[in-house]
Amino acid sequence: MAVGAGLTVAGIYYAQPLLDLIRQDLGMSVFGAGFIITASQLGYALGLGFLVPLGDLVERRRLVVAMTAGGSVFLAAMAFAPYPSVLLAAALVVGALSTVAQVLVAFAATLAAPEQRGRVVGTVMSGLLLGILLARTAAGYLGQYAGWRAVFAVFSATTMALALALYRGLPPHREHLGLSYPALLKSIVSLLVEEPLLRLRALYGAIAFAGFSVLWTPLALMLSRPPYRFSAGTIGMFGFAGVAGTLSASLAGRMSDRGWSHSMTGITAALLALSWLPLKLGGHSLCMLIVGILLFDFAVQGLHITNQGRIYSLRPDARSRITSAYMASFFAGGVLGSAVSSFAYAHYGWNGVCLAGTALGAAATLRWLISLKNRIDPGPGNGRKT
């Protein structure tokens, strides 16, 4: 499941180190190239809203295999896209089908024993984060030597092989809810209305991933220009800085199991803001840029895993819908963040990007401080106000 989550979510990250190559080949503007990332994240948000809830309705192994195979087909469409419009449309669908990674996370949480759920979710999410990490690095190097189209062609074939492996390796599983599809979608809204913890954690997730997109959407464009002038392969290597996020996933999962999720939330929220100081200096200092990326990825992924460890304690029979509600908010934040960062970078450069990111981190920290007064989400429990 960890391998499957990593390889499927990678589909929305292959383009990040390749933006300058794609822009030059298809004659796109800097602002337009940034919207490749926006399209894939918008697709992911739509998939979270309309595809992931199906995990509570249909047989999960069949759903996972169908979505993975479909992702392979549309990765191939990206590889052979003749125009920017075709590329953007295919990126949208790839983003939607990549939400199969979240079906796998919820599936793993269902199969895990309650006392091990945080660790299991952390393990599968570590695989997901490694997929993000390796996607950027592998795509950058392959794109440098074989062209950006080869990246999508190769990973299309890899994803189809994964679909076959998941079919053979996953156990069949189905929830028996007796709901129609429209009723299933309506119940997602009901969950958000009825569960204060879910609303709070969805807000944290949206802010965190908005900041993530603010950083990573324009980073390849910044690194391809003075004073760095890095190649696509070198830009892809910056994905390895995200190993801090993989380490924080395991740590956050264990802290959640031990009842320390509230403290972890405060630490990671503060780091979301503070990490932008070295990132700001990173506009002219490679060392500071790497330090900033390490701190920032640690904060984003640590907060994300803490969120998931808390929301999966709510309703065992609704984990796919809880995942859908949370992750739709998460990626809606990402869509907003990528659009804001594309605008900020095009008009105000790296300084504008850093200002936007700092504001988001400050908002997460402020919300955590407010939660101390309101006593929402004090630790493991039902998540309601006490």
Q: How far apart are CA 51 and CA 45, in angstroms?
A: 10
Tokens of 256: 């959640």
Tokens of 123: 């393990």
Cis bond before residue 227 (omega within 30° of 0) = yes
- Residue pair 43/163 in contact by the 8 Å Cβ criterion: no
Q: Is the pLDDT of residue 205 over 50?
A: yes
Instruction: Tell me the per-residue pLDDT of 56-78, one tens digit each, with 9 for 90 and over.
Output: 888 999 999 999 999 999 999 99
pLDDT of residue 362: 97
Stretch 287-307: mean pLDDT = 90
Tokens of 154: 């190769």
Q: How far apart are CA 325 and CA 309, in angstroms?
A: 15
**Banded model confidence at residue 382, pLDDT cuts 50, 70, 90:** very low
Contacts of 225 (CB under 8 A, 6+ apart): none
Helix segments in 51-180, DSSP class H: 60-79, 84-97, 100-111, 117-146, 148-169
Neighbours of 118 (CB within 10 A): 29
Q: Is the pLDDT of residue 386 over 50?
A: no
User: What are the sequence ranges of the domains in the chain?
Assistant: 2-374
- Name the phi and psi angles at 228, rounded to 5: -90, -55
Q: How far apart are CA 40 and CA 331, in angstroms?
A: 10
Closest CA to 338 of 154, 213, 195, 201: 213
Q: What does pLDDT average to over the chain? A: 87
C-alpha distance from residue 219 to each of 136, 216, 241, 335, 384 (Å)? 12, 5, 13, 16, 39
Residue whose token pair is 């998540």: 383
Cis bond before residue 17 (omega within 30° of 0) = no
Q: How far apart are CA 102 and CA 271, in angstroms?
A: 25
Between residues 165 and 317, the one the model is more confident about: 165
Q: Tell me which amino acid residue 143 is.
A: G
Q: How far apart are CA 70 and CA 93, in angstroms?
A: 9
pLDDT of residue 250: 67
**Least confidently predicted of 68-77, 199-208, 339-348:** 339-348
Q: How far apart are CA 186 and CA 2, in angstroms?
A: 30
Q: Which H or E run includes 302?
A: helix 286-311
Q: Which of 142-146, 238-242, 326-330 has the highest mean pLDDT?
A: 142-146
The CATH H-level superfamily of 2-374 is: MFS general substrate transporter like domains (1.20.1250.20)
Stretch 214-236: mean pLDDT = 87
Closest CA to 349 of 165, 225, 198: 225
Stretch 296-321: mean pLDDT = 85
C-alpha distance from residue 346 to each of 34, 155, 341, 351 (Å)? 10, 30, 8, 11
Instruction: Tell me the per-residue pLDDT of 235-284, one tens digit each, with 9 for 90 and over.
Output: 877 877 766 666 666 676 677 677 788 888 999 999 999 999 999 999 99
